[in-house]
Chains A and B, each alone.
Chain A
Amino acid sequence: MKHENLILLILTLIIVIAPMVIYSGLGEDQGYFGGADDAGSDAVSETGYKPWFESFWEPPSGEIESLLFAVQAAIGAIIIGYAVGYWKGQKKVE
Chain B
Amino acid sequence: MHIMEGFLPPMWCLIWYIVMIPIVGYGLYQIRKMVDENPDITALLAVSGAFMFVLSSLKLPSVTGSCSHPCGNGLGVALFGPAVTGVLATIVLLFQALLLAHGGITTLGANCVSMGIVGPFVGWLGYKACQKAGLGSKVSIFICAFLADIVTYVVTSIQLALAFPIPNLGAAIAKFFVIFAPTQLPLAIAEALLTLIIWNTLLSYKSDILLKLNLINPQDVPSGDA
Contacts and interface: CB of A to CB of B under 8 A. Distances in A.
Interface of A: 1-2, 4-5, 8-9, 11-12, 15-16, 18-20, 22-23, 26, 31-37, 39-41, 43-44, 47, 49, 51-59, 65, 68-70, 72-73, 75-80, 83-84, 86-88, 90-91
Interface of B: 1-7, 9-10, 43, 46-47, 49-68, 95-102, 104-106, 156, 160, 164, 166, 175-176, 179-180, 183-184, 186-187, 189-190, 193-194, 196-198, 200-201, 203-206, 222, 225-226
21 contacts: A5-B200, A8-B194, A15-B189, A15-B190, A22-B63, A22-B65, A33-B66, A34-B67, A36-B67, A51-B6, A51-B7, A53-B104, A58-B101, A73-B53, A78-B50, A79-B50, A83-B46, A84-B205, A87-B206, A88-B205, A91-B226
Contacts of A44: 7, 160, 164
B1 A37 contact: yes
Contacts, number: 177
B57 A72 contact: yes
Nearest to A40: B179
Contacts of A87: 43, 205-206
A80 B222 contact: no
Given A35-B66, A36-B66, A43-B175, A16 B200 contact: no
A52 B68 contact: no
A19 B205 contact: no
B66 A16 contact: no
Given A44-B7, A57-B98, A90 B205 contact: yes
B66 A39 contact: yes
The main secondary structure of chain A at its interface with chain B is: helix
Contacts of A55: 5, 97, 101, 104
A59 B67 CA distance: 20
A36 B68 CA distance: 6
Given A33-B61, A49-B164, A8 B101 contact: no
A43 to B, nearest CB: 6
Contact of B58 (A53, A65, A73, A75): A73
A77 B54 contact: yes
Nearest to A32: B65
Contacts of B3: 40-41
Contacts of A83: 43, 46-47, 50
Given A40-B156, A76-B52, A35 B59 contact: yes
Given A15-B190, A87-B205, A90-B205, A52 B6 contact: yes
A8 B22 CA distance: 37
Nearest to B68: A36
Nearest to A88: B205
B196 to A, nearest CB: 6
A44 B7 CA distance: 7
A36 B179 contact: yes
